[in-house]
Chain A
């Protein structure tokens, strides 16, 4: 019997049918000639001052968001600013937000009612055009090339698929910036030093290549802010190249950072140590281990948490050994990563 790779209950997809959340359903909503309502954000570069201009576009079979924009630019708004080049999911220049979702205009089917906005988290130039230079500067600062720490032994180099698995996924990136626009941590601006998903995918192309000089990789990871990733998978959801950004790029990069720059990963190492010792996470023990005495700087808060039984200092101090403790100790303490 073949084993199911996703033994999921249909209840995990409730809402999918009525919201036409499948390719077939989405493509069956319009017939040629049907009017599509398109609202396009127009501005002179100040997102807050953007106004929405509404158009009615006649649907044609297989119509994409880009076709609708082209129709508008030809018939209704010749001054509409938008970018595209290849029209075939290669150049990554036509990304916009359609109904609040980052899409490639050249690869996304139109919807009966569309609001088209520019990408977020980047300076706006005009209408749907954003300034990509902050992203490009970030990538340049990651020195995205290979520096071998061993002598080049000539072609073909001894590399296995397994070794290149993650880097090769990252190499599918077309730099469309959909993920960068969707990332909630990037949206918080300077609050953290998080580089953002797109630059991290670019970093992953070389940092996850085993031939790269590990000292250089460590130097680049140290300026990536990678542990500020909240693991929300918004980037994976919008990636038109279907790169598993969290699983195959950010997590392997975190693993590298944890090994090469352990100071960046204090929290991750602390959590592992606590699970290895206790079997389960004790939040009190985790906070103490990561923050040290700093954990006590907000006493009113600690009292509030104590009153509601949210923290249990006695449990933290008097660790109870259980079957889970024994199992975790055996499994995690054998080989240190």
Chain B
């Protein structure tokens, strides 16, 4: 199975380990990824608010790049995912917008006709790989590892896009974690907001919000958190020192990117998955690290 792959800005800078891990895990899964090198930023939350025309053009351009390759698009960032989904929805429902955007894209011989399938890596795992094949590929089951799934917002809300009456009912990460052998925990932060999108000008909101969620995950007995979004990861992991200062207590909560959790179960080492690039050392997974030379202990 081949995908046009859009890593987004975060996985190519602050969370570069996510991009590395995704490529390694995709290889293990037999997914071929064609990274869209000329794709731009999707505009985060800012562009869509202050420059909708620019937002639609950049996002439809990403969809057009995938369409030119005749491939479905795979994303690994919640906010990027919602941006391309929203741009696609606007494109197919507004003929005038579609015409304007395509006129802009024509300058570089690009055209979008609205046929690109959009999928986040989390959905690809469930849909293209499937529970059965994934189970067969697990060589290092993470038996009993208690994980707190942190969905973030843009992979499960708004309801107009994803269709949940109550986004807390999303169970995609827990189902995946169980396939990998983990024991997912229930806690209040699962589908709450990390606060990333105001952190650029004022970190305090993100620090307060993420602090509550890490505390809840800890109280629920989680050894590690796992998130499908690099922006959530940035707040939960890179801000954790500041969060600890704010709370006045140590948290030491490792936070894994989703492909890293999958990679561990598929027998990749923490080094191969660049887990050592996190701010909070992932000591919790030490017991679950594959030892390929000694067989499966």
Contacts and interface: CB of A to CB of B under 8 A. Distances in A.
A49 interface: no
B24 interface: no
A13 interface: yes
A323 interface: yes
Interface string A224-260: 0001111111101100000010110011101100110
Given A5-B92, A331-B104, A308 B278 contact: yes
B287 interface: no
Contacts of B202: 192, 228
Given A237-B159, A265-B50, A275 B41 contact: yes
A330 B47 CA distance: 15
A254 B49 CA distance: 6
Interface residues of B, number: 90
B195 interface: yes
A271 to B, nearest CB: 4
Contact of A231 (B89, B153, B172): B153
B166 interface: yes
A22 interface: yes
A203 interface: no
A137 interface: no
Given A18-B171, A230-B209, A301-B241, A275 B126 contact: no
B249 interface: no
Given A234-B193, A268-B49, A228 B162 contact: no
Interface in B133-165: 153-155, 157-165
Contacts of B32: none
B43 interface: yes
A150 interface: no
A14 B40 contact: no
B197 interface: yes
Contacts of A230: 153, 193, 195-198, 205-206, 209
A83 B39 CA distance: 53
Nearest to B274: A309
Interface of A is mostly: helix
Contacts, number: 247
B50 A275 contact: no
Interface of B is mostly: helix
Given A7-B116, A230-B195, A14 B205 contact: no
A3 B9 CA distance: 29
Nearest to A268: B46
A236 B116 contact: no
A304 B192 CA distance: 27
Given A13-B163, A15-B172, A324-B38, A312 B50 contact: no
A39 interface: no
B285 interface: no
Interface stretch (B10-18, B216-224, B256-264, B265-273): B10-18
Interface stretch (A57-65, A126-134, A183-191): A183-191
Interface in B185-203: 192-193, 195-198, 200-202
Contacts of A11: 119, 122-127, 172
A280 B41 contact: yes
Contacts of B120: 12
A266 interface: yes
A272 B57 CA distance: 14
Given A232-B193, A301-B242, A244 B160 contact: yes
A28 interface: no
Interface stretch (A170-178, A206-214, A281-289): A281-289
A310 B14 contact: yes
A8 B85 contact: yes
A281 B13 contact: yes
B57 A7 contact: no
15 contacts: A8-B162, A9-B119, A13-B162, A15-B170, A21-B166, A188-B208, A234-B193, A255-B52, A271-B43, A272-B47, A275-B47, A280-B9, A281-B13, A283-B10, A290-B201
Interface of A: 3-16, 18-19, 21-23, 26, 100-101, 184-185, 188, 191-192, 227-234, 236-237, 244, 246-247, 250-252, 254-255, 258-259, 265-272, 275, 279-283, 286-287, 290, 301, 304-305, 308-312, 315, 322-324, 327-328, 330-332, 335, 337
Interface of B: 9-10, 12-14, 16, 37-41, 43-54, 57-58, 61, 85-86, 88-89, 92-93, 104, 107-108, 113-120, 122-127, 153-155, 157-172, 174-175, 192-193, 195-198, 200-202, 204-206, 208-209, 238, 241-242, 277-279
Given A19-B169, A192-B204, 10 more contacts: A3-B115, A5-B92, A10-B127, A14-B171, A15-B169, A247-B86, A271-B47, A272-B43, A280-B41, A324-B40
